[in-house]
Structure 1
Amino acid sequence: MDQARTTISKIFNGEPRSYTRFSLTQNMEGGDSQVEMKLSPEVEEELESNGVGEHLHHHPESYRRKPQRTPKNICFLVAATLLVVIIGYLIGYLVHRKQDKASPTCDRAVSVSTDEESSQPESFAPKQLDWGEVKGMLGDKLTVSRIEASLSEFASVDHRAGSPGDEALANKVLRRFQENNMKTWNDEHYVKLQAPPTSGSNTVTFRGQSLGSIQGYLAYSATGKAEGAVLYAYYGRLEDFADLKDLSIDLNGKIILVRAGEISFAEKVDNAAKMNASGVLIYPDPADYDLSDTTQLFGHVHLGSGDPYTPGFPSFNHTQFSPVRSSGLPSIIAQTITPIMAQTLMRGMEGRNTPRSWKDGGLSGVLYKLGDLSDIVSVEVNNVLVETKIHNVFGVIKGVTDADRYVVIGAQRDAWGPGFAKSTVGTALLVELAKAISEMIREGRFMPRRSLVFASWTAGEYGNIGATEWLEGYLPSLSMKAYSYISLDGVVTGSDTFKASASPLMNGLISDTLKEVNSVSNPGKTLYALASGPSWETSVLEPLKMTNPAYPFITFSGIPSVSFRFTKSQGSEEYPYFGTLYDTREKLESATFSNLPKVVRAAGQVAGHMALRLVHDHLLRLSVGAYDKIIRGHVIQINKKVNTLQESGRLPNNFTSKWLISAIGSYGRGARALVDTIDNSDLEDTEQCRMLNDRIMRVEADLLSPYVSPTKTPFRHILLGLGPHTFTALVDHLDVLKSSVGSDDVDKLLNQFALASWTLQACSNALAGEVWDMNNNI
C-alpha cells in the first residue's frame, strides 16, 4: 500500500512521497472534485515550531489547486485509476497467497497440537503394556554379555574424586548416555577434599619407635600432633566407652585404639572426642576382616554428608562461601594403621584385662590389654585440604504424561583404589539400565509415564559429596518433583542373601520386586521365598545409616529412597575390601563364587523393576501406611517413659503427651483418607493420578522438621534424621531425666514435644488432602 500511495503521490504532485507524509481525501463541492493534500499532524507541529504554520493556514491556496479538465488530464486520471486497481489487485492476490501458504502451516500446527492432545492417550494406549510384558522386555535387554562388557569398560585402577581417572570415567558415562539419545548434562562443583600429605606421610610412634610406613589415611581428620597413653576401646561405640567408665578408667587425653567395624569411622572419632580423648587409631582386626597384615585403610571421619566446608548449601563456583564448617568435622586427630602395626603396638601394651563382654581379636601372639599410663603413643597427621573440581554426570529419559516428575537412579563413580565392588559394578549397571530402557522406548514397545534420571556421582568416598551437593543445589525443585531415588552403590558383595535399607514408603515396592526376581544361587526360588524369619522385613530390611548413599536423599531432601545389596549368607564374613586397595574384580569374583555377571544382572533386575514400576503404573507404589506402625511404636515408647517419670516425680503431673498421641491419630486418619480417595478416583484420569501421586510422595518431605536450620541440622527427618528434633533425641532426653531434672530440662522437653507434634500433625494434614479437607484435631 505504501508503494501505491507513493505512485499516486507522484502522479498528482510530481514530488516524491518521502518528502512529506500526507493523507488523501476527496472533497465534493458542487460537482467539482478536488484532491486535498493534508499534512500529517507531526509535520504540522514541526512546521509550526519553525514559524511557517501561520503562513500555511492563511494561504490555503498555496497547497490546494483545482485540476484542469483537459484530455491530457483525463488520460492521466484514467491511467492512475487503472494503476490503482492493478496494484490493489496484486496486493490482494499476494496477501491472499501468503495466507494460503500460512494457513496450512497454522492448520498443521493446530492439527498436530490437537491431534497430540486428543490422540495422545490413543497413541499411548497401545504402548501401555501390562507389567509382565514390561519386565520381560527388560530381562531381554539386560543381558549377561552386555554387563560383562561394561564391567570391563568401567574398571579402573585409579579414579579418586577429581583425578584424571575420575574425569575419564565421567566422559565414558556421558558418551554412553549420548549414544542412547538421552539428554545429558553435568553438574560442576568446587569442593574441599582432604588429601594425604604432599610429601612424606603421617606417622605413629610407640615409645619413641615408628610403627612403619603409612599410606592409608582418614580424610577430614584434624591435623597436627597428639601424644598420650594408648587405651584400647574395642569398637569405639558409646557402650564400649561406658564399659571403660564403669572400670573407673580416665579417658581424658588418651590416644584411643579401636577396631574397624560395627559403626563408621566418623562415629568412632566423634565418640572418642566426646570422652575428651586426644586422638584415635583404627585398625582392621583379623577376627573381623580377612586381610593381609599390611592392608592400608582409607576413609573419612566427617560425621555428615557433603562438603563439610559448605554445610547446607552447594559448592557452586559462583557461591559466596560462608566461613562456617560442618559441626560434624572432628576436633581430634585420627589415623588408620595396618594389622601388623596394631600387633606391634598391642604386644607392648600393659595394664588391665579387657571387660568380659568384649571378645578377643585375631592378632597373633597378642594378649588384649587396655593399656597402661606408660604406653605412650605419638600420632602426627599432616593431611592437606585441596579445592577440587568435581563433575556429576546425568542423562534423562523423559516421560510422556508427567515428564516433570521423575525417578532418580544413581551410582558412585570414584574410589580410593580399584573400587570394583564399591563403584565399578554400580557404574556399569547404571549405563546398562539406561541402554536397556532406551532401547525399549526407541523400539516403540514401552512408553514411561514419568521420567527417569540416571546420575553418576563422584566424591562418594568422602561422604556422598557429589550427590549431596546436587541435592543442596536443587533442593526446592527436587523435593517437589523427584518421586524416589534408587542407589546402585555396592549392590554386589556376595550372592546368597539380599539386604535393603529404605524409606518405609518403599517397603511395598521392595516386597513386590523380591517376588519377581530369582536368586542366582537358588535359581528356582525368588528372593522373597528365600527371605527367612517371621517376616520378609525382619530378614531383608536393615537400619538406614548415615554412611548409606540413600541417607541424604531421605533425611535431607525428603525423597523416598532405597539402597540394596546382594551379600554373603547371614553369619558369614561381610565383604572386607571396601576402603582398601584390594577391592578388585578377583576378590569380588571369589565372593560371588564366579557368578559375578549373573549376580550383577539380578541386581539390575531389582533396580530396574522398582524404577519401571514407578514410571509405568498410574499410581505410585509407595506405602503411606508403613510409617503409621513406626510412628506408633515411637509414641508408645515415649508415653511409657513419660508415665514412668511422672510416677517417680521426675516430671510434673500436668505434663502430657496427649498432643503427640493426637498427632499420630491424625496420621492414621490421613492415611485412610488417602486410601479412600484412591478407591473412589478414576485412575485413568491423568491429572487425578498426578495429584494423588504428589500427595503420596510428599509424605517423606513433610516429615522433615521445618523448625531446624538445614545448614546447622541438615538431616531434618524426625524419624530417620539426626538432631534434637528427632523422636530418637526425645527418647534419649527422657532417659537423661531419670537421673536428674530441672526446670530447664522440662522446658526443653516441652519444646521437643511441641516441635515433634506439630511436624507430625502438619504431615498428617497434608496427607489427608486439600486445606478444605483438613480438620483441626490438635
Structure 2
Amino acid sequence: MDQARTTISKIFNGEPRSYTRFNLTQNMEGDNSQVEMKLSSDMDEEVEANGVGENMNQHNGPYYPSKLSQRSPRNICFIVIGILLLFISGYLIGYLSHGGKNNTKPVTCPDTVENIPLVADAPVFLDWSDIRALLKKKLTTSNIKNTLREFSSANHQAGTSGDEALANNIVEKFKALRMAPWTDEHYVKIEVPSSSNNRVLFRGNAVGSTEGFLAYSAARTAEGPALYAHYGRSEDFRRLEDLKVDVNGKVVLVRAGKIGFAEKVANAERLNASAVLIYPDLVDYKINYDTALFGHVHLGTGDPYTPGFPSFNHTQFPPARSSGLPNIPAQTITMRQATEIMKKMGGQDSRDWSDGLLRDVLYRLGDDGDVITVEVNNVLTEKKIHNVFGVIKGYVDADQYVVIGAQRDAWGSGYARSTVGTSLLVELAKTITNMIKNDGLKPKRSIVFASWSAGEFGHVGATEWLEGYLTSLNMKVVSYISLDGVVSGSESFKASASPLLYELIASTMKQVSSPIDETKSLHEHFSASNWENSIIEPMGLSDSIYTFQTFSGVPSFSFRFTSSSKLYPYGTFEDTEQNLDRYTSDKTVKLAKAAGEVAGLVTLRLVHDHLIRLNVAKYTNLIHKYVSQISSKVETLQGSGRLPNNLTVLWLLSAQGSYDRATSALVTAIRNSNLDDLEQCRIINNRIMRVEGNLLSPFVSPRESAFRHILLGSGEHTLAALLDHLNTIKEGLESANVDQFKNQFALATWTIQGCANALAGEVWDLDNQI
C-alpha cells in the first residue's frame, strides 16, 4: 500500500521523468532559479564543451541509460489504471486468503532498491579515462611500423592497378575485423600527360625536360612576354597594378607555395594572362634542381565534368563543365628550367620579391623581349576509381556517425601524402575494434572508416561520395576527421577545423604526449600563449576537409606535424620514406602514433559522450566580427553618399542577435536538462548538428557555387564577399553594383537568421524578432 501510494504521488507531483543524479533547488525569485547539477566526470566535460559547467562535482562510474523517460499522458493513464487494478486485486486476494487456510508462503519485497536493476541488460559504458588509456596502450609504434611497411607502394596513382591493389588490401583488413566493408565505384574524368610531352620554350629555344604536369590545364599552346609575379596571390597582382605593369597577354611565372596551384592560375586568368608557369624556389623547398611538380588547376573539387552531382556509373547527365576549369594553359617547371629562364629576364627590379634563392637570378619582372611559349598536350581520360568503407556501429545512436578518412592514391610513392594516413586508418580500425572486443568499449554512435581515391586530382573520390549522399549527410555525420598528410615534419603542429571543434581539439592536445618531449603534452609543447593563433590555420581550397565543411556542412578537422622552415615536397617523386625520415629527424613512427592518438581521441570523444562535443558558441565571435565590419563600412559609405540611406543594417544585427540568443537558450537548456536521459540528449544533439549545415546558403545552387558556407566558403554569398563588394563600391570600380549588394546582403542576413531559428529549437520556441 505504501509503495503504491508513493508511486502515484510521484506521478502526479511532477517528479523528474527519468532516473537522474540532479538535485533541483528552485529559487522563488522568478527567472533567477538555480539548478544544482551533480554529474559524472564525463558529463562535466560535455556540458563544459557547450559553454556550461566549469566547477561541477565529479563522480566516476559506469553509466546506465534510462528507459523511464518515455512517459506520455496516455502511458501515465495506463500506469494509474494498472496500479488501481493491482491494488483492488491485492485487496480481494488478501481478504479471501484470511478466510481460508493460512498456509500460503508470504510474499517478500526487496529491502533496498539495489536489489532491483534499474534497467535490464543495459550496456555499461567505460569511463573516458579508461578509453583514453586503452587507446594509448593499444595503438603501438610497432604495429604502425608494420602497417606502414605493408601499405608502402612505389606506384599507386588513381585508377591504376597499384591503387586497386591497395583498395583490395583494405577491404580484406576490414573483413577480418568484421566491419562489413563496402565499396563505391565512380567513373571519373582525369587528365594525364600525352605521348607528346608538354614543352616550354624561351625566346624560341626549348627549356629542359617537362616531366611534371598540371591536370585540368587547358590543352593548347600560348605565347607571350614573361612576367614574374611572386606567389601569384591576389595581393601580388595588386602590387603589379600599382607598379603600372599590365598582366594582359603575359606568361606569368610564379613560385609554388602560399596558395594552391588552381588559385594562382585563376588569379592570373582573371587579369587575362596567356599562360602560367609554376616552379619551386629554394627559399621554400629543399629539393633537387630537376625535381618535377605534379598537381591540378581545377578551382574546385571532385570530377569537374560532373559538377554538383556524382559520377556513378550509368548515370545519364547532359555534358557539363565546372566553372572552375581554367581556359589558359598551365605547366610546372623545375628549378633548373626556372633558373635558365629567369636569369636572362630583363625589366625592372622586383625589389622585395628578390628573396628567392635560385642561383644567378636577379628576380626581375621581365620585359617584352622575354617571350615564352607554353605547349600543353594533356589528355582527358576516364578512370574507374574505388572508395572503400568499413563501419563500427554504435550501441545507442547508430544512425549518427563520425567519418574518419584518408587519401589512398599519390604521384609516385606518396609516402607522407597517403601511405602514413592510410596506415593510420587501418591501425585505428584495428585498435578500436580490439577495444570493443576485449575491453568492453561500447561507442554510442557509429564510426565510418573511409579510404578515398583520386585525391591528387582535387579530392575527387571523397567529393563524388559527398555529392551522392548530400541530402542526408549533414544530419547524420557528426564530424569528418582527415588523416591526409598528418606527418611532414616535427617542428610545429598545425590544424584547420570548424570552430565548433576548437575546444575539443585543444582538450585532446592536452591529453596526448608530445613525441618530441614526452614530459609535455602536445598543447604545452606546440602552443604559445594564444592557442588558436599558434595552432589554427585558415581552411583553404586544397585542404582535404574543405569540401566536407563548405559543401556538405559537416564539422571537419585536419591537422599535421610539419616543418616550420621548408615546405615538404608533396606532389613530387621525392615524397619517400627516406625523405620523410629526414624531415622528422627519424621520428616518423613516433609522430604517426601521436597523430593516431589525436585522431582517435577526437573520434572516440565524439561517439562516446551523451552530448556531442561541438561548441555552437564558437561561431558567435566570427559572426560578430563580420557583422561589425560590414556595419561600419555601410555607415561610412552612406555618409559619403555611395550607398542609399534606406539600406539598414538592423536586419543583419537582428539576425546576429538571434544567433546569440539561440546559443544562450541552448546552453540554458543543457543546464536544466537531465543528461542521463538519452532521448533528451538526442533532441539537443539534433539542434547542435543543424548548425553547420544551416550556415550553407540555401539561395545558391551547389552545382553553380559548391562551397556554400557563408563564413568559411567562397563565392558571392559569403560574408567575406560582402566586405569585398563594399570595397569595390568605395573605390568606385566598374564591378560595383549597389542593387546586387543589397540582394547579397539580404540573403546572407536570412541565412544567419535561418541558422539561429534551427538552433533555437521548435517553432514555438522562436522569438521571430526579425
**TM-score normalized by the length of structure 1:** 0.83
Is 2:207 the partner of 1:201?
no
1:538 is aligned to 2:528: no
Compute the displacement of 1:129 (Å): 1.0
Shift of 1:534: 3.5
Distance between the aligned counterparts of 2:201 and 2:288, measured in 1? 21
User: For 1:611-630, what aligned pairs fall within 5 Å after superposition?
Assistant: 611-630=603-622
Report the CA distance shift for 1:743/1:372 in structure 2 as closer, same or farther (over 3 A). Answer: closer
What amino acid maps onto 1:230 in structure 2?
A: A
Is 1:288 the counterpart of 2:280? The answer is no
Residue 531 (structure 1) shift: 3.9
Contact 1:410–1:457 (Cα < 8 Å) also in 2: yes
Contact residue 292 and residue 334 of structure 2 kept, 8 A: yes
Matches within 5 A, 1:372-391: 372-391=367-386
Q: Which residue of 1 aligns with 2:295?
A: 299
Tell me the equivalent position of 2:71. Answer: none
State the AA in 2 paired with 1:497.
Answer: S
Match 2:571 to one of 565, 571, 579: 579
Match of 2:172 among 172, 175, 189: 175
Structure 1 residues 744 and 375: alpha-carbon distance in aligned structure 2, compared to 1, 3 A threshold: closer
The answer on whether the counterparts of 2:353 and 2:363 sit within 8 Å (CA) in structure 1 is no
Aligned CA distance change for structure 1 residues 547 and 722 (closer, same or farther; 3 Å): same
The amino acid across from 1:556 in the alignment is: F
Q: CA deviation at 1:465?
A: 0.5
Structure scoring higher RCO (CA < 8 A, sep ≥ 6) equals 2
2:410 is aligned with 1:418:
no
Cα deviation, residue 535, structure 1: 1.5
* 2:689 is the alignment partner of 1:697: yes
Would you say the 8 A contact 1:419–1:584 is kept in 2?
A: yes
In the alignment, what sits opposite 2:717?
A: 725
Summarize deviations over 1:480-509 as a string: whole Å, max 9, x none: 111100000000111232111000000111
CA distance in 2, matches of 1:459, 1:372: 40
Equivalence for 2:477: 482
SS of 1:684's equivalent in the other structure is coil
Aligned 8 A contact 2:729 2:736 in 1: no
User: Structure 2: how far apart are the matches of 1:376 and 1:167?
Assistant: 44
Contact 1:392-1:466 at 8 Å conserved across structures = yes
CA distance in 1, matches of 2:405, 2:371: 46
1:633 partnered with 2:625: yes
Q: Does 1:188 align with 2:185?
A: yes
Code of the residue aligned with 1:573 in structure 2: it is K
**SS of structure 1 residue aligned to 2:263:** helix
Q: Report 1:224-243 matches (<5 A).
A: 224-243=220-239
- TM-fit CA distance, 1:183: 1.1
Which residue in 2 is equivalent to 1:88?
none
Identity, in percent, stands at 59
Structure 1 partner of 2:340: 344
Change over 3 Å in CA distance of 1:342–1:179 after alignment to 2: same
Question: Relative to 1, partners in 2 of residues 1:351 and 1:741: Cα closer, same or farther, differing over 3 Å?
Answer: closer
Q: Any stretches of 5+ residues in structure 1 without a counterpart?
A: 1-117
Counterpart residue number, 1:757: 749
Q: How far apart are 1:743 and its partner, in Å? A: 12
Q: Deviations over 1:734-756 (max 9, x none)?
A: 00011228998221111111101
Deviates more, 1:645-654 or 1:479-488: 645-654
CA shift for structure 1 position 444 = 4.8
Q: Which residue in the other structure is 1:325 paired with?
A: 321
Q: Partner residue of 1:165?
A: 162
Is contact 2:722-2:745 (8 Å) kept?
yes
Deviation of the 1:120 alpha carbon: 11
What is the CA distance between 1:532 and its match in structure 2?
3.6
- 1:715 aligns to what SS in structure 2? coil
5+ long unaligned stretches in structure 2: 1-115
Deviation at 1:165, TM superposition (A): 0.3
* Residues 474, 689 of structure 2: 8 Å contact kept: no
What is the aligned counterpart of 2:677 among 651, 662, 685?
A: 685
Match of 1:256 in 2: 252
1:313-366, Cα deviation, whole Å (9 max, x unpaired):
000012112322111000100000000001111122111111x33233111111
Question: Equivalents in 2 of 1:436, 1:745: separation in Å?
Answer: 57
Residue aligning to 2:213: 217
Match of 1:438 in 2: 433
Deviation at 1:448?
0.5
Q: 1:145 to 1:532 in 2, by over 3 A?
A: closer
Q: Could you tell me which of 595, 606, 610 is aligned with 1:603?
A: 595
Any idea what the Cα deviations from partners look like across 1:264-309, whole Å, max 9, x if unmatched?
1001100110110110001001111111110100000000011100
Q: Could you tell me whether the CA contact under 8 Å between 1:256 and 1:277 is conserved in 2?
A: yes
Q: Which residue of 1 aligns with 2:270?
A: 274
What pairs up with 1:32-181 in 2 under 5 angstroms? Answer: 122-126=120-124, 128-181=125-178
Equivalent pair of 2:725/2:736 in contact (CA under 8 Å): no
Give the 3-state SS of the residue equivalent to 1:738 in structure 2: helix
Q: Which has a greater percent of helix?
A: 1
Q: Which structure has the larger Rg over C-alpha atoms?
A: 1
Deviations 1:17-64 (A, max 9, x none): xxxxxxxxxxxxxxxxxxxxxxxxxxxxxxxxxxxxxxxxxxxxxxxx
Over 3 Å counting, the alpha-carbon distance change for 1:754 and 1:580 in structure 2 is same
The one-letter code of the counterpart of 1:749 is F
Equivalent residue number for residue 492 of structure 1: 487
State the one-letter code of the partner of 2:763.
V
2:587 equivalent to 1:591: no
Q: Distance in 2 between matches of 1:184 and 1:213?
A: 44
Distance across 2 between alignment mates of 1:222 and 1:184: 39
SS state at 1:183 partner: coil
Q: Which string of whole-angstrom CA distances, capped at 9 and with x for unpartnered residues, describes residues 551-596 of structure 1?
A: 000100000000001112x4x2232x10100000111111111111
Deviations 1:714-763 (A, max 9, x none): 11000001111000000000000112289982211111111011000010
Residue 633 of structure 2 contacts residue 726 of structure 2 at CA under 8 Å; is this kept in 1?
Answer: yes
Quote the Cα distance in structure 2 between the aligned partners of 1:192 and 1:655. Answer: 46
Q: Given that residues 399 and 446 in structure 2 are in contact (C-alpha distance below 8 angstroms), is that contact kept between their aligned partners in structure 1?
A: yes
Q: Is contact 2:290-2:335 (8 Å) kept?
A: yes
CA offset digits 1:530-555 (Å, max 9, x no partner): 24434211111000001101100010
Q: What is the rounded CA distance, in whole Å, between the counterparts of 1:121 and 1:515 in structure 2?
A: 36
Structure 1 residues 553 and 119: CA distance shift in structure 2, 3 A: farther
The answer to whether the Cα contact below 8 Å between 2:183 and 2:386 also exists between their aligned partners in 1 is: yes
Does the CA-based 8 Å contact 2:230-2:253 persist in structure 1?
A: yes
2:665 to 673, 689, 694: 673
Question: Normalization by structure 2: what TM-score?
Answer: 0.84
Alignment root-mean-square deviation, CA: 1.5
Greater Cα offset, 476-485 or 720-729 = 476-485
Question: CA offsets, 1:165-198, max 9 Å, x none?
Answer: 000000111111111111110011010000111x
Distance 1:536-1:291 versus aligned 2 partners, 3 A rule: same
